[in-house]
Amino acid sequence: MNRAAVASFGIFLSLLPSVAFAAERTTWDFQNNNVPGEWEVTGTFSAESQPDGVHITANDDGTFTQMIDLPHRIDVIALTVSAQTPTDMMIVWHPNSLPAGALGQRQIRIPAGTLQHVTLDMSMIGYWDPHTDTLGIALPKGANIVLQRMDVEGYSFFERVLEAVRTFWTFDTFSSYTINFLWGPLLTFNETGRLHLFDNLPPLAQSANRYFYFILALTAIGLLLHRFYVGMASNASADSFRKRAPYAFLFFFVFGALWILYDLRMGLEYFSYAKTDIGSHMMKREDRIFRGFLSFYTTAERAATVLATEERYAVFSPKSTPFMSIMRYYTYPSAPLLDGEAITPGMYYVVILRPDISISAEGRLISGDTPISPPGDLIEDYGDASFLFRARP
């Protein structure tokens, strides 16, 4: 690109209204006995306005919605809310394409206790309408919540493009599924979607592949049209065009450029795996963390030096983890007890990443309040709720 083109592009950007780069936000603040807007209640709700927000008790399933006519689109919804018991509430809205009364919904789980700030990218949800005319929440029977605040945010076109580019370069980490598939470059169109890209599996995002395919299809169609309508117009020009710009070569050139861009994206993700492992595991002597396994390998290596001399031992590890299998591998031929096998006196127990397990006053391992071992002694504490314990002979 020459300097004039760069300068023109800069001037074009500076002339764009600043609003083109700013997210627009609308807030409904329910604090200080305030109820902004006109909210409609269906079902048997009791809603009471108080200083900390509106208290809603649902005696039956129902909704708490309002008609809206905002000057901006809605891409992100943020709720500040608390619940007395864990509550599966829903964001509900009316998609303009559906008949009146029909509502789209997205479930969110509010844990019991403290005030929660929940931010949701709505743009990837089926039936979501950024220009919806009705928005609110739905509660199941028995719900008891305090809604303090509701924010809705809309992104401009340029911001959405910018966020899509940023998301394209947002990398996944090496997870248990990475050996079987890679999500590849994904696109979301707001910051919330990008920051929480891999929180949901599958991610709430679009595959960037569809845009690559679009470009390739466009290239192919363009070249074909040129071939048939321009290139063939006269024999002389067709011949000269074919010599200057071979169609297949041009297509493969575009294809190759996109391939290398894609390879760059995926290659950098691969290097990011290596960088993480080198920084958090290989180069560290203490506090080593290995991917989702956290400090497990430090525990396993240290415990294995003791357990390898035993015939059998017991393992307490979180469910759905391969920790027991790895311990078996590390200590072979010494092996962990399988389900149903009897614990014998003097046996070692390795507790791995189990904050629910501790040693009681009488020296037993307890999970919560339940004893799970005979009395014994702590042999070695590895930190992170991991330790080696031995029952007394």
Residues that bind other proteins (CB under 8 A): 176-185, 207, 209-210, 212-213, 216, 242-243, 246, 248-249, 252, 255, 258-260, 262-263, 265-267, 269-271, 273-274, 277-278, 281-282, 290-291, 293, 297, 300, 322, 325-326, 328-329, 332-333, 335
Is the Cβ of residue 102 or residue 274 nearer to other proteins in the bound state? Answer: 274
CB of 173 to other proteins, least distance (A): 13
Q: Helices 209-225 and 247-277 meet at what angle, rounded to 10?
A: 170
CB of 265 to other proteins, least distance (A): 8
Classify the phi-psi angles of 385: left when phi > 0, otherwise alpha if psi is within -120 to 50, otherwise beta: left
CB of 349 to other proteins, least distance (A): 20
d(Cα 351, Cα 386) in Å, to the nearest integer? 5
Is the Cβ of residue 36 or residue 279 nearer to other proteins in the bound state? Answer: 279
CB of 46 to other proteins, least distance (A): 43
- The H or E element spanning position 348 is strand 348-351
CB of 170 to other proteins, least distance (A): 12
- Report residue 48: phi and psi, to 5°: -130, 130
Is the Cβ of residue 182 or residue 343 nearer to other proteins in the bound state? Answer: 182
d(Cα 76, Cα 191) in Å, to the nearest integer? 9
Q: Are strands 39-41 and 62-67 parallel, antiparallel or unpaired?
A: antiparallel
Q: Is 263 exposed, middle or buried (0-12, 13-18, 19+ CB in 10 A)?
A: exposed
Is the Cβ of residue 37 or residue 322 nearer to other proteins in the bound state? Answer: 322
Is the Cβ of residue 275 or residue 392 nearer to other proteins in the bound state? Answer: 275
> Cα 306 vs. chain centroid, distance in angstroms?
39
Which three-class secondary structure state does DSSP give residue 133? coil
Is the Cβ of residue 62 or residue 231 nearer to other proteins in the bound state? Answer: 231
- Taken as a whole, the chain contains a residue count of 393
CB of 36 to other proteins, least distance (A): 42
Distances (CA, A) of 53 to 26, 94, 106: 17, 25, 22
Cβ atoms 200, 221 nearer than 8 A = no
CB of 341 to other proteins, least distance (A): 12
Is the Cβ of residue 1 or residue 179 nearer to other proteins in the bound state? Answer: 179
